[in-house]
Structure 1
Amino acid sequence: MRRLSLALLALALLISGCRAAATPPSTAATGGARTPVRIAMGYIPDVQFAPFYVAQARGYYQAAGLEVTIDHSDVRDALVQVGQGRLTFANAAGDEILQARAQGIPIKLVFQTFQQLPVAIFAKQSAGIKTPADLRGKTVGVPGRFGATYIGLLAVLYAAQVPADQVNIVEIGFTQAAAVREDKVDAAVGYFNNEPLLLQAEGIPVDVLPVSEYISLVSNGIIAADTLIETQPDLVRRFVSATARGLQETIADPEAAFRDALRFIPELPAERQAFELNKLKQTTALWQSAVTQQHGLGYSDPAAWETTYRFLRESGLLQAQVEVTSAFTNDLRP
């Protein structure tokens, strides 16, 4: 899932000249009219968004009085737009939210879809990379020094106390699977429900080091503006509740959910559908954790927020202090 550029967010905020004088969507009108809602996903149509597709396809948003647009366009300043009330919701992760709040963008997480960061370091088994310590002296490919993959790599090195300067980090664009396959790098960072599966499907044995096994970072979920939460909490609850139902049903029956998702991924070729269905099945594990068994789907763990914040601050990735508890709420879940 492509991450939104915080540098561009900051620039957009400066250009806008205001913090967040939002005019949120009106509440659902009587007489059957629905409230328009738009959520920016930050990535092209993909099975990782199946819970949203299921909620849309099965009429859960409509039943909640919402006319939902799932926006897959390249909205580079989505977090700014959410903070200003020009966009209802967006899909973002904890590190993005903390950095946005540090820049004065008043947003918070209201439903954490992914309980585990889907990023992983992967390598051919012949490379002998079994633990983060084995990365010392190795060449590790990342798409660039930005986004979830780069943050994930730095987080694993931080947790394992491996200095980043002891690893040769190289930018390879979005060619991680090919770079590992062709031995251009010793390892690469991608999504463990994607690139490693591609290589395994080709018969290439790989070792996978999921970021979530070494450090608990807050992953992606639904964000909303502070103003919207304060003035229209019922609208947020209705959207979150419908999405939660879509999430629950996707976990319960990923094959049926995949059939619904196909309506929203028209470019997906028939020959790739079996791989994508398997990817969805692998992804269902990322939406669940010991925390959700106790608190329910969508719960955001305060301890994970503290870990994310401490990592960002101690790594120099977050320059300003942020009140961590202001970055999320669990009060709007069903």
Structure 2
Amino acid sequence: MITRRTAAAALGLTLFAPHVRAQALTSVKFTLGWKTQGSDAPYFVARDKGYFREAGLDVVIDQGEGSGATVTRIMGGAYDAGFGDINAIIQNAATRPADTPVMVYQMWNQPPFAFVAKTSSGIKTIRDLEGRTLGGAPGTPTTRLLPVFAKANNLDLAKMKLTSMAPNLQEPMLIQGQIDAALVFNITSYFNLVLNRQDPDKDFTWFAFGDYGLDLYSNGMMVSQKLIRDNPRAVAGLVKAVNKASIDVAADQTMAMASVQSYDGLVNIPVEKRRLQYAFDKLIMSPELKEIGSGDVKDDRLTRAIDMVVTGYELPRTPAAGEIFNRTFLPPRAERELAYKMS
């Protein structure tokens, strides 16, 4: 017989049950590499499709301050994981190996670092950069890698005038002719030019670092060593969820943009969808990815990349590849087949 007391108790348990389930989820604080962009779609899809919850995770996603800053944000303890630059991991691991996060899912296996110049500037080869004024944002990987680029290509760094500026001023100053070339992330600068009503293909010349000896890896998902040590199951769940979402995004970018918009209603959907597709075309899809699958790296290539960064920055120690990338948490190769189709 159901009494008022037992009914109230049952109602209390019903109301309390969702709270219990929510409490059972492991909280993960996650930082993006920058403001909301279409290329961040896998994280939002993993959230909206419930992949994080299926893995027992409550992932809180915040906007970032730069892909290099992702590393320092995690090192400072404010974040458990994030999307950022593997080269910043290398730099920090050389001096603070115990504190530096580790890449667990490599997303961009082609580097976005590039010079961009107006076609009318007369800069047709990288040699033409000597004697010119370059605009770079302090602390960004592209600007910090300029000495490495110059050394790899026998360019005289002393003949290049580097003007420091905020990232949002690079394209306007380039358009106005106040600088001859800018040190940029191609995936960011290309669309800044679009938003400034420029034609980045017709009116600008691009020099990708990867085409000139800097065969570096770039952005991916990294986690703190503390999370790996204290909760490896959470790391595995995070990787599995993002891998699954990445496969979904590759197949359906329209669906992906709905998740981007659900996270940030102020994004320019047409531009950000183009950015997402640009990421697949320029940074993600490659012969290497088809060989080893999404999320992984080649150890010999990573070792060469580490050596380049260590030499270029004159770092005191050369980290081993295993300190920078940990493939322990990757799903089996058969589950990491990423087939991109523009949609």
Q: Which bin holds the TM-score, normalised by the shorter protein?
A: 0.7 to 0.9
Change (3 A) 1:122 1:83: closer
Change (3 A) 1:53 1:179: same
d(CA) in 1 for partners of 2:244 and 2:322? 26
TM-score, normalised by the number of residues in structure 1 = 0.81
Change (3 A) 1:130 1:152: farther
d(CA) in 2 for partners of 1:275 and 1:84? 33
Deviates more, 1:76-85 or 1:65-74: 76-85
Secondary structure of the residue that 2:187 maps to in structure 1? Answer: coil
d(CA) in 2 for partners of 1:192 and 1:232? 36
Equivalences for residues 178-327 of structure 1 within 5 A: 178-199=172-193, 201-203=197-199, 205-214=203-212, 215-268=214-267, 272-285=268-281, 286-327=283-324
Residue equivalent to 2:166:
173
d(CA) in 1 for partners of 2:91 and 2:328? 22
Instruction: Choose 1 or 2 for highest CA Rg.
Output: 2
CA positional deviation for 1:225: 2.9
CA positional deviation for 1:282: 0.5
Report if the CA contact (8 A) 2:89-2:100 is conserved.
no
CA positional deviation for 1:240: 0.4
Residue equivalent to 1:161:
154
1:41 aligns to 2:38 (yes or no): no
Change (3 A) 1:140 1:79: closer
CA positional deviation for 1:247: 1.3
Task: Give unmatched runs, 5+ long, in structure 2.
Answer: 1-19, 332-343
Change (3 A) 1:263 1:74: same
1:332 aligns to 2:323 (yes or no): no
1:61 aligns to 2:58 (yes or no): no
Change (3 A) 1:155 1:251: farther
Equivalences for residues 5-24 of structure 1 within 5 A: none
Task: Give unmatched runs, 5+ long, in structure 1.
Answer: 1-29
Report if the CA contact (8 A) 2:26-2:56 is conserved.
yes
d(CA) in 2 for partners of 1:74 and 1:128? 33
CA positional deviation for 1:265: 1.8
Identity across the alignment (%): 23
d(CA) in 2 for partners of 1:168 and 1:86? 37
Deviates more, 1:306-315 or 1:58-67: 306-315
TM-score, normalised by the number of residues in structure 2 = 0.79
CA positional deviation for 1:142: 0.7
Deviates more, 1:194-203 or 1:206-215: 194-203
CA positional deviation for 1:198: 4.2
1:140 aligns to 2:139 (yes or no): no
Residue equivalent to 2:81:
89
Report if the CA contact (8 A) 1:180-1:186 is conserved.
yes
CA positional deviation for 1:168: 1.6
Cα RMSD after superposing both structures = 2.6
Change (3 A) 1:277 1:107: closer
User: How many residues of Structure 1 are paired with residues of Structure 2 in the alignment?
Assistant: 302
